[in-house]
Chain A
Amino acid sequence: MKNPAERLLGGHAFGTLTDEERHELFTAALEDQELFDALADQEPLRELLADRVVRNELLDALDRPSLVERVRAALRRPATWADLAAATAAVLVVVGATHLLWPRAVQAPRMAAARPALLRALFDLPAQRGIAADLHVEAERITFRVERDAQAILAAQDRDGAMTQVFPQPGDVARVAKGVTLSTARPSGAVRVRLVVFPLEIDPLTLDEGTLRTVPHPLTVIEWRPRTSPGGKTT
């Protein structure tokens, strides 16, 4: 505070200064331009507060509890049956929401990728056609679609024999809707792409190479390999 009389500014606006305080403030304002300006800036407020009607309206507004006060008051009052019912309903809503949302959240990582052994086993499966499906591999993208709701894994193998799961992406499920064309980026260096389609009731991401053998056939196994042109170029 540059001028001690500044402490009195708020009292001037509300018209509550004592005679001594008024004398101190106005005398100081005559000597101090900054204090004078502060006093002048407050004039619109002082003018409003000089109106008795406005003062009463402001008092009414202050008599209504603020949001913070309402929350505090609600927390302080004794609990009633209605509070218990509301709290129970809130708990039920939270539990219900958790049941709906939690499984996806926790299962997503588990379903994100098949184990390498399963990928190898998938590449060992003989070609077969259970559920009608199409697979197209282009330079940059791979697209596929199934003609029935099903579950599918799309895997790629590079020149070194390393296998990667292309679909489903981490966090996704293997479920594919009927007639929907899915598209994904083609892994660089992929020389072998394999789409394996399972019936809807079989989640391939929960399988391993042993349980894969127990799955009733026929599945759908479609493989793509680059065609080699007469010049030795692959497409």
Chain B
Amino acid sequence: MLGLAAEWFPRPSWPPMRLLYSPIRMSLGDDGERTKALEKLRARLVASRLCRDEEDLAQDVMVLLITKYATTPTVDLVPLGITIAWKMRAARWRKADRRGENTAVDATDVPLPDVGPDPEEHASMSERKGRLLQAISRLDGKCRELMRLKLEERSFPDIAEILRAKINTVYSWDRRCMGRLRELLGGSWEGRA
């Protein structure tokens, strides 16, 4: 474990950063399952499209996961890591746009998932919401019903019971309907072609 920590987080020379160093080392002293999950998550992030052209993004995500989300259940590390990576990347782009440069962002500057959207993010969300509303209202038949049940927070087993179908049939419908929805959004979940 300490070997992993030393590889990811070598002891910083700047004294204030050493304050951050200790909790990282301490947080890594957990069970092996979490450490393996973190290692794999880092590898997935580095290889993902999210971190393309953003060399240190994966590293910054890992720092946040280890320092601020040390108590998050291991199973939630993947969605949390993805959410943080998206937000960090968006924040970097916006910052680079504003400044006209592509400077690195300190991990502590990055808005955490529980921070409300800034005006730019709000505008982007409202645009995406408009597209999603338009796309989802064009669905019909089984897809419309399925989306309605999912928006009502029904799980797949519940949906299978309501629609009197086998759960694998519901999974197939959902896959097809999500494909249709994505198509109506222009082939991307961001809502642009």
Contact = CB atoms under 8 A, between A and B. Distances in A.
Interface string A1-43: 1000011111111111110011100110111010011011111
Given A30-B44, A47-B86, A11 B174 contact: yes
A75 interface: no
A18 B156 contact: yes
Contact of B79 (A21, A39, A62): A39
B136 A62 contact: yes
Contacts of A140: none
Contacts of A48: 125, 128-129, 132
Nearest to B133: A61
Contacts of B22: none
Most buried by A among B75, B177, B189, B190: B189
Nearest to B51: A40
Interface string B42-72: 0010011110000000000000000000000
B183 interface: no
Interface residues of A, number: 49
Contacts of A14: 150-151, 153
B140 interface: yes
B140 A68 contact: yes
A58 interface: yes
A99 interface: no
Given A30-B78, A66-B144, A58 B86 contact: no
A59 B177 CA distance: 16
B189 A42 contact: yes
A233 interface: no
Q: List 3 A-B pairs, minimum CB-CB distance, nearest first.
A: A7-B171, A26-B78, A14-B150
Interface of A: 1, 6-18, 21-23, 26-27, 29-31, 33, 36-37, 39-49, 51, 54-55, 57-59, 61-64, 66, 68-69
Interface of B: 37, 40-41, 44, 47-50, 75-79, 82-83, 85-86, 125, 128-129, 132-133, 136-141, 144, 147-148, 150-157, 168, 171-172, 174-175, 177-178, 188-191
